[in-house]
Amino acid sequence: MKLSYQIKKDWKRNRSLYFIMIPVLIFYILFHYKPMYGAIIAFKEYSPALGVTGSPWVGFANFTRFFKSVYFIRLIRNTILLSVYNLILGFPAPIILALLLNEVRNKKFKSITQTVTYLPHFISLIVVTGMLTDFSMTTGLFNDVITMFGGKSSPLLQDPKLYRSIYVLSSIWQEVGWGSIIYLSALAGVDSQLYEAAQIDGAGKWKQLIHVTLPAIAPVIVIMFILKMGSLMNMGYEKTILLYNPSTYETADIISSYIYRIGLLEQDWSYSTAIGLFNSAINFGLLLFTNRMSKRYSETSLW
């Protein structure tokens, strides 16, 4: 009785508010939850004629097909390696840049550096990868620089060994400045009295960094790290699709780009959905895991 009374009271009070939410709810149902429901074709043999509900169930057949596939190990390895490489180099880079910028006393120089390092973020991915492709050709800019230093020119993007480095370094180039903003704002919020107190205690710059600055911005770092971990297996397919080619598949092909080829290009709907679902589940698990670890050890968490 009590609950229904509460609902009635809430409805009376907030009815018009719920009406406002209707279009938003429809949006989420139609473009988020309906596809989530559609993902059950991972357990079916989907045929467009029969539709999602009408297609016959096949249990875990699509999953076992993936686990037994020759590509399975390669895809998992490539995804993890690219991610980890990206995390190890790409995660600290904006933090370091923010710390360095924070030490710049010349305001004008600081703002110029910020504006210029943000710039690559505004160049579209298509253009960035287009530039990379051109620069990597035997006559391109990268090879010109390599030969300048006495190296031999080669088609860099055809080399599976170089692929990950090109991918990760260009991502850092594009995002390091932009990524530093959030840390800069955290740094701006550090109480200057803490530094003064540290100085009186005889702490040099390095000691101040370790004992004042880093602890102060640690919560932001942790949150960003959790978010990054949550997308560890979720490496963006867009850049991969633009940058790889059959000669670099060996190191370049990741789960999401494989889903794209098998699903959208070869139209093996159920199989590609199963791979996607497997990937999503692992991702979600990683996020929960990191969040839990973080809650336990640093008392910072997403929720």
Counting contacts by CB under 8 A, is residue 31 touching another protein?
yes
Identify residues 280-299 at the interface with another protein (CB under 8 A).
280, 283-284, 287
Min separation Cβ 59 and another protein, Å = 18
For residue 193, give the amino acid letter.
Answer: Q
Instruction: Give the CA distances from residue 1 to residues 9, 11, 45, 157, 198, in Å, rounded to whole numbers and listed in that order.
Output: 12, 15, 46, 68, 61
Min separation Cβ 216 and another protein, Å = 14
Q: How far is Cα 254 from Cα 17, in angstroms, rounded to an integer?
A: 44
Binding-site member from 63, 72, 85, 173 for another protein (CB under 8 A): 173
Binding-site member from 81, 145, 218, 293 for another protein (CB under 8 A): 145
Counting contacts by CB under 8 A, is residue 144 touching another protein?
yes
CB 209 within 8 A of CB 99: yes
Binding-site member from 75, 82, 95, 101 for another protein (CB under 8 A): 101
Collapsing DSSP to helix, strand or coil, 57 comes out as strand
Binding-site member from 50, 81, 84, 127 for another protein (CB under 8 A): 127
Q: How far is Cα 38 from Cα 101, in angstroms, rounded to an integer?
A: 48
CB 187 within 8 A of CB 213: yes
Collapsing DSSP to helix, strand or coil, 44 comes out as strand
Counting contacts by CB under 8 A, is residue 41 touching another protein?
yes
Binding-site member from 78, 79, 129, 240 for another protein (CB under 8 A): 129
CB 98 within 8 A of CB 179: no
Binding-site member from 130, 201, 247, 266 for another protein (CB under 8 A): 130
Binding-site member from 242, 249, 282, 298 for another protein (CB under 8 A): 242
Interface segment toward another protein; rule CB under 8 A; list 58-66, 81-89, 159-167, 267-275: 267-275
Counting contacts by CB under 8 A, is residue 141 touching another protein?
yes
275: closest CA among 10, 55, 31, 39? 39
Counting contacts by CB under 8 A, is residue 197 touching another protein?
no
